[in-house]
Amino acid sequence: MGELHAGGRAPRSGDRSRCPACGTAVDASVYRCARCLVYFCFKCRRRVPAKEDQFQCLNQMCERYGKLVCEFCLELQAVMGEFPKKELVSEGIAGYRKTTHSRRFVTYCALATAAIVVGLGFGLDLCCGISWWWTLPVAAFISYRESLYLMDCHTNVAPVPAVYRDIVETAFVGNRKICGACRQSVARL
Ligand SMILES: [Zn+2]
Ligand SMILES: [Zn+2]
Ligand SMILES: [Zn+2]
């Protein structure tokens, strides 16, 4: 069956002394065959067609500086970005605080108020002879309003603004291609 490539996906460095296309002896420092005019990668010696991305190292100290290098001979470097953000330090306090009473407390208050109103009605009935019946709807109304108030009352407090601090978050932005030899910037040819 087919033979495995040594190194799996990693391209091998080919014979640096021969053109990969026609086999003509070439210098190890070139990336184009003088005879068949085929371009090949300076590093791995594979043919690089014109429609494929071609790169060169921009580092003048590197042996691949200005040489045609294929994209398989580049490395990827993670690019991190810095993003300023606001982080909450302490939450603020609104200008009021809601006071909640238990349902039992509200019921007792309403009953007590109703009892006082009806008791006043009885007192008026006894001393002045005014019928006490009118106190029933009045007691019901007052108790109802009172329980509504008790179930939703607010206390005013001094508002405190929320406190934030400036932080800088570092996050992965993407990968950039770098030279596989010196790890410096590359440019498309
Ligand atoms: Zn050739
Ligand atoms: Zn290559
Ligand atoms: Zn380089």
pLDDT tens for residues 20-61?
999 999 998 899 999 999 999 999 999 999 899 999 999 999
Whether residue 166 lies inside any domain: the answer is no
User: Does 50 share its domain with 105?
Assistant: no
Which ligand sits closest to the CA of 179? 3
**Separation between Cα atoms, residue 21 and residue 46, nearest integer Å:** 9
pLDDT recorded at residue 130: 79
Contact (Cβ atoms closer than 8 angstroms) between residue 134 and residue 104: no
Q: Containing domain of residue 5, as a range?
A: 1-79+174-189
Q: For residue 8, is pLDDT > 50?
A: no
Inside any domain, residue 149 = yes
SS3 113: helix
Q: Do residues 110 and 143 both lie within one domain?
A: yes
- Ligand 3 centroid–CA 41 distance in Å is 14
Please report, rounded to a whole number, the percentage of residues in the chain having pLDDT higher than 90.
60
Task: Give me the pLDDT at residue 62, please.
Answer: 95
Give me the number of domains the chain comprises.
Answer: 2
Q: What is the pTM of this model?
A: 0.53
pLDDT at 13: 59
Same structural domain for residues 68 and 3?
yes
